[in-house]
Structure 1
Amino acid sequence: MFGISDIPKFILAFFILMPVISILHEGGHVFFAWLMGGKNIKVTVGTGKPLFRLGMLEVRKYYFWYGVCTFENIRRKEKLANILIFSGGALFNLLSTIAVMMLVENGYFEEGIATYQFTYFSLYYIFFAILPMPYPDGNYSDGKIILDLIRGKDEVIMERTYRIQWNEDGKQWHVLDHENKMIHSFKEEEEAIEKARFVAQENRPSKVVNSKEGEEKEIHNYPRIPL
């Protein structure tokens, strides 16, 4: 039975185990994104202002809550690749939970509140990851993306295309949205690319295309973010 003496252990487990579980979850997304050729992979643990960065990992002030994995330019963008990427977080949580349970059963770990909380919070993560539901900010749970893809609703991974295009008359680079409406114009190509990248990242899934000399070349693609 949970008693008063267990409260400090619970708090310790919450502030240590929750971030570990979050990192494992994002690690699953990272693994499959890397497998599909993803570049510039980054993992953010927590929310609020950044505390420190270590390689691809960024830890924020409230490190014990929330996590997100971002990446770009995956080579394989078909349905199965996306299902694997969005399934990866829950899969890694499930595998780590099974591993802890087996270690306890075989006497390698002592059964206690830490192992109990690890199992509990891992299952909590899995449940809310695979529960198919929309979020208030317009994002979807991993489960909803997976379910929509299984149902054939490929529009959830359909990319918007943002173009940079040279305008000979005005001697400027135009940044065009997915409806070919001009967003902004620049004298320098690098400035136009930077603007197109910024807009595309804010409207995932998307890609940036350079329309130059009658040819279109993809510069970046930004898949939908798994949470």
Structure 2
Amino acid sequence: MFGVNDIPKFFLAFFLVLPIISFVHEAGHVFFAWLMGGKNIKVTVGTGGVLFRAGMLEVRKYYFWYGFCSFDNLRRNHRVANILIFSGGALFNTLAAVAVISLIENNLLASNMITYQFTYFSFYYIFFALLPMHYPDGSNSDGKIILDLIRNKGLDRERIYRVQWNEEKKQWCVLDHDRNLVQAFDDEEQALAKAHEVAQQNRPSRLLNSKSGEETEVENYPRIPL
């Protein structure tokens, strides 16, 4: 039964242990994203306004709630690569929990409330990360995306955005996936900036440029793991 004496334990878990577990989880996603050649990697711990940034790490005001990572331009952006990336969070949580248990069993680490909460909530985190389900905000759990990738079924369609020179208008045109005009610019850099903005907001997506006469990929924006 939960009693008054358990309140400090609750705050310890909520404000210290869970954020650490969340960071380990995101580190797993980031490791495999880096392994697959991802660029612009960023880890966000918490939600709300930004408290501070240190390299790729961003800590927000409510650091104990939520977390995600982002990355762009995967060099290896195929199905197996994405399965590894979305499995990475649960894998790192599992390895961390098993490492703590092993250290305790070999008397290299003392068993206490923090180690107990760390292992307990790590497996809690793993279970809900891998449970194939839709979240209320419309996003999917890691498990749902992994399952869809394995089945090669029900995945979000990768949208392709293009920057093309229109000889008739003498303008650079940003085109959406259906080749409909998004916006036209006199300057190529402005067109590319707009195309990047639209592609980032509609992941998973690719951005192509036909400047050289044939389409080349400028950047790709994969799904973001939670």
TM, length-normalised to structure 1? 0.94
| Alpha-carbon offset, residue 169 of structure 1 | 2.1
C-alpha contact (below 8 Å) 1:10/1:113 kept by paired residues: no
**Would you say 1:215 and 2:208 are equivalent positions?**
no
Q: Hey, what does 1:26 align to over in structure 2?
A: 26
**Aligned with 1:107: secondary structure?**
coil
| Alpha-carbon offset, residue 69 of structure 1 | 1.0
| Alpha-carbon offset, residue 18 of structure 1 | 1.1
**Would you say 1:15 and 2:15 are equivalent positions?**
yes
Q: Hey, what does 2:172 align to over in structure 1?
A: 173
**Aligned with 1:161: secondary structure?**
strand
| Alpha-carbon offset, residue 137 of structure 1 | 2.3
| Alpha-carbon offset, residue 158 of structure 1 | 4.4
Q: Hey, what does 1:205 align to over in structure 2?
A: 204
**Aligned with 2:225: secondary structure?**
coil
**Would you say 1:73 and 2:73 are equivalent positions?**
yes
Structure 1 gap ranges (5+): none
Q: Hey, what does 1:160 align to over in structure 2?
A: 159
C-alpha contact (below 8 Å) 1:157/1:223 kept by paired residues: no
| Alpha-carbon offset, residue 215 of structure 1 | 1.1
C-alpha contact (below 8 Å) 1:29/1:85 kept by paired residues: yes
Amino acid at match of 1:146: I
**Partner deviation per Cα, 1:53-95 (whole Å, 9 max, x = no partner):** 0000100010011111110111111111111000000000000
In 2, distance between residues paired with 1:157 and 1:80?
A: 16
Amino acid at match of 1:169: E
In 1, distance between residues paired with 2:41 and 2:194?
A: 21
Amino acid at match of 1:83: I
Larger mean Cα displacement after TM superposition, 106-115 or 91-100: 106-115
- Within a 5 Å distance, the mapping from 1:101-116 to structure 2 comes to 101-116=101-116
Q: Return structure 1 stretches of 4+ with deviation > 4 angstroms.
A: none
In 1, distance between residues paired with 2:189 and 2:28?
A: 34
In 2, distance between residues paired with 1:19 and 1:12?
A: 10
- Within a 5 Å distance, the mapping from 1:43-122 to structure 2 comes to 43-122=43-122
**Aligned with 1:156: secondary structure?**
coil
TM, length-normalised to structure 2? 0.95
Structure 2 gap ranges (5+): none
Amino acid at match of 1:87: S
| Alpha-carbon offset, residue 14 of structure 1 | 1.9
C-alpha contact (below 8 Å) 1:133/1:144 kept by paired residues: yes
| Alpha-carbon offset, residue 13 of structure 1 | 3.0
Number of aligned residue pairs:
226
Aligned sequence identity (%): 68
- Within a 5 Å distance, the mapping from 1:31-42 to structure 2 comes to 31-42=31-42
**Aligned with 1:173: secondary structure?**
strand
Alignment RMSD (CA, Å): 1.5
Q: Hey, what does 1:193 align to over in structure 2?
A: 192
C-alpha contact (below 8 Å) 1:210/1:216 kept by paired residues: yes
Larger mean Cα displacement after TM superposition, 106-115 or 158-167: 106-115
In 2, distance between residues paired with 1:108 and 1:130?
A: 30
